[in-house]
Amino acid sequence: MAFCNNCGKEVNDNQAVCLNCGASINSSDTYVVDNGGFGWGLLGFCIPVVGLVLFLVWNETKPRTAKAAGIGALVSVILGVFFYVILLAAAAGAA
């Protein structure tokens, strides 16, 4: 048997709401802190694979943090491709 978090009355395990006060029994409504952050973007920039994985995992639960990690990974990949093209152009010009 469980007890209501609101009024303290005993309730059955299969009840969704308390019959005494009407409060929800399954209080699994947890608040998720999602303020994005420069650190997650920096992690995604330094390790793009981790940034991509974090973006995919947190896309539904932490959209701001996922966006920061994804943008960091995307910027890292774009800069890597850009510098690789510059390097190839410089090597082709020197030959």
pLDDT at residue 30, rounded to an integer = 53
Find out whether 45 and 76 touch, Cβ atoms under 8 Å: yes
Residues 81 and 56 in one domain: yes
pLDDT at residue 1, rounded to an integer = 67
Residues 18 and 47 in one domain: no
Residues 45 and 59 in one domain: yes
Residues 72 and 46 in one domain: yes
For residue 53, pLDDT over 60 is answered with: yes
Q: How many domains does the chain have?
A: 2
Find out whether 17 and 24 touch, Cβ atoms under 8 Å: yes
Question: What is the Cα–Cα distance from 71 to 48, expressed in whole angstroms?
Answer: 9
For residue 91, pLDDT over 80 is answered with: yes
Residues 94 and 48 in one domain: yes
Residues 24 and 37 in one domain: no
Domain that holds residue 1: 1-30
**28 secondary structure, DSSP code:** -
Residues 84 and 59 in one domain: yes
| pLDDT tens track for 15-47 | 888 888 988 877 555 567 888 889 999 999 999
Task: Return the SS3 of 74.
Answer: helix
First to last CA, the chain: 80
Question: What is the Cα–Cα distance from 92 to 72, expressed in whole angstroms?
Answer: 30
